Structure 1
Amino acid sequence: MDFTLCTLRDHRAFLTNQRIGRTKPEDSPNVSEAEARYIRESEAIQVNSGKEKSFGWLDKFIRYQKVAPLTTFKSVFASWNIWGNTLTYFLMNSVIYGILTWVPSYLVNAKGYSFMKMGFIASMPAVGGLLGAILGGFLSDKVFEKRRKPTMLITATAAAVMMFVIINIPDITERLLLSVLGLAGFFLNIGWPAFTAYPMGLTTRDTYPVAIATVNSGGNLGGFFSPMIVGAILDTTNSYNLVFGYFGFLLILEFLIILSLKEPIQHEYKTSQT
């Protein structure tokens, strides 16, 4: 009985907090203007105080420069940096979901593996992806000091190489295939955190949700269309090599589009303009 009463009290408290809770301090009637200003000033993070580390030729290569923040929804939808990032996320997810959905078929039909062996080998991209995402986030924040494009470019280049390795080793052994698929998942996910973090350097608190929604929508579309496109390729040609070549082509195209994007210098955390 005591446990039930405690649970009911907690549930009632949760519902009460949901009714009176606010997403921003400014929205609460219990927060004064001075208190809200103090909160905002205290959370302004000086990411770049004029003493940023220079990466020399790399900064030139990734177009590291000051970029005016996108303060309106119109500016978000008019920004090539946002649309380019959306397109590259579409291409990356096309490869990731293409591998996840069609590699099991490849292992059974093309390589003749049992379902047990197929299940083990097909899990390697996910295992490699876990390690790649963790390392990619660390590299982007700590090594490249919040430059997002380097890990995005690593993803496109290295993963494309893995696709062509699979194509050019027709009698690839089981052990080598394990390594190649694991590395493919690893490299595909090194840049994964950067694709969603990249819009943060371009937007404000108010416009980031629209920007990231646009980017994520593009990524979801990649995951939606890729299995159908790969299925159509296999129905037409019955060639898995052509499928991996298609993935490699998407990654090369992704690399070229990433090069066209600007890498914004993040001087400070951009608060809402009120």
Structure 2
Amino acid sequence: MNQVKAVQENRSNGAGMATTASAKRGSFRWVVLGLIFVIWAIACADRANLGIALPFMKKEYGISNTEAGMIISLFSFAYGVVQIPAGLLYKRLSDRVTGKLFPVFMILTSVFTGLMGTTSSVFLLKLYRVGLGISEGPLGIGCTNIINRWFPAHEKATATGLWLTASKLGPLIVPSLCVVVIEIWGWREIFYVFAIPGILLSVLWLVTVTNTPEESKFCSKAEREYIRTEVGLVVEPAKASPLQRSDNLGWLDKVIRTRKVPQLSTLRHVFTSWNVLGAAIGYGCMIGITNIFMSWIPTYLVEVKGFTSIKMGFLASAPFLGAVLGNLIGGLISDRLLGKRRKPLMMLSAFGTIFMMLALVNAPDNSVYLGFTLFLAGFIVSAGFGGYAVYPMGLASKSVYPVSFGIINSVGQVGGACAPLAAGMLLDAYSWSAVFTYMGCSALVCLLILCTIVEPVIADDKAAKS
């Protein structure tokens, strides 16, 4: 009886401590996420504005769909190539140095965005697109690295979902804003307008945010302890970001192949992990679909459907309005309802995308129907996006996580870079029906690849291949 009473008292004291800690710890980590959100939205707007300017640039330079696709893809090729080097850079350098690199890359991104408006030839246009990709490439790894350091495990998917929502918010606001700029000035001024905010936000970041909570004067001791633990009371070792799952979802765990796996803690283990590579290939398929939406849909709406610039601006925003909601809801479902399982929504997103592309093949010219279909397609494509960034957190230790995410992002971006070029070639040879069929096939390949990787639960071993 005395032992039972003691256990009850300990639980009662623990609950009281949790309430007190929750009240006192503060929430500066969400301020950091807010800045990441705005910075990433601006960065993604910088890459998306080319899609709105593309019909006007094609007319001015007299370029084919294939060459236009190459110009679009050059950004993603450059962006993808720097992912692994950037991941190694974040692993090798100190937190203090990497904290300063983040705003530097943001400034360079803004500079190359502005230069896009000064082009006098197709060659310079291609050169600046490569520069933009190289400059923006390390930003994504920087964002996930900061989230990994600033949030406890049970908040990471929600935080990542919010961050990825910013990647869709940029393209969401781009079409309408760009149409206004074009109507007032012209297509070149689009790039000047989008270059300014990134520089201002970089300065704000330098004076406000540090790379770790321990270095921040705005983060309380209670919040730092909460960040370093799964439940908010006991500080766990900072060696890793394992996602331990005590609950069992029965048939779902069988479908997604939930397995205990040793944690990846060395570069050799990361580079030889099929789970990491498989997630990267699947990510590349879905990134390709998003890239086509971002870069080619405005041209489709103007040249095929015959919509005016104003109507095109609203309809081109539809898939990204759906994407914003998809990222938010997907992150919450993954964290709250699925016990931090990432694969279910990744697989469901790929499966649903197949049918949405079939719906777009024979989409009518009715703007309401087309707008709703694009909205729903964006929602379904993006519902599982957060899982790709969080998935390696369940496999790798914090020290090698930047590299594991770098592999996923690098392979994903290089794979996704092929899609706009492929779309341009298909348009020159066939029609938009072929493009939408290609996108549906990409989603099918993604689904099949995801079936071969596991849903990880970290085992007791410190490291090994998976």
Could you tell me how far apart the structure 2 residues matched to 1:112 and 1:154 are?
33
Match of 1:190 in 2: 383
Per chain length, whose mean CA-contact separation is higher, i.e. which structure has more relative contact order (CA < 8 Å, sep 6+)? 1
Report the Cα offset of residue 178 of structure 1.
Answer: 0.7
Deviations 1:109-159 (A, max 9, x none): 221111111111010011111000000100111111111000101110112
Q: Secondary structure at the match of 1:54?
A: coil
2:396 maps to which of 191, 203, 206: 203
Match of 1:136 in 2: 330
1:113 maps to which of 284, 292, 307: 307
Q: What percentage of residue pairs aligned between the two structures are identical?
A: 36
Q: Secondary structure at the match of 1:204?
A: coil
Q: Give yes or no for the alignment of 1:235 onto 2:428.
A: yes
TM-score, normalised relative to structure 2 = 0.48
Query: What pairs up with 1:1-274 in 2 under 5 angstroms?
Result: 42-44=235-237, 48=244, 52-167=246-361, 169-171=362-364, 173-237=366-430, 239-266=431-458
- Structure 1's unaligned 5+ residue stretches are 1-10, 26-38
User: Which residue identity lines up with residue 264 of structure 1 in the other structure?
Assistant: P
Contact 1:166–1:172 (8 Å) recurs in 2: no
Report the Cα offset of residue 180 of structure 1.
Answer: 0.7
Could you tell me how far apart the structure 2 residues matched to 1:154 and 1:143 are?
15
User: Which residue identity lines up with residue 97 of structure 1 in the other structure?
Assistant: N
- Structure 2's unaligned 5+ residue stretches are 1-202, 215-227
User: Which residue identity lines up with residue 191 of structure 1 in the other structure?
Assistant: G
TM-score, normalised relative to structure 1 = 0.79
Report the Cα offset of residue 220 of structure 1.
Answer: 2.2
Report the Cα offset of residue 219 of structure 1.
Answer: 2.6
How many positions carry a matched residue from both structures? 239
Report the Cα offset of residue 23 of structure 1.
Answer: 5.8
Could you tell me how far apart the structure 2 residues matched to 1:87 and 1:47 are?
23
User: Which residue identity lines up with residue 421 of structure 2 in the other structure?
Assistant: M
Q: Aligned-pair RMSD on alpha carbons?
A: 2.8
Q: Secondary structure at the match of 1:265?
A: strand
Report the Cα offset of residue 224 of structure 1.
Answer: 2.7
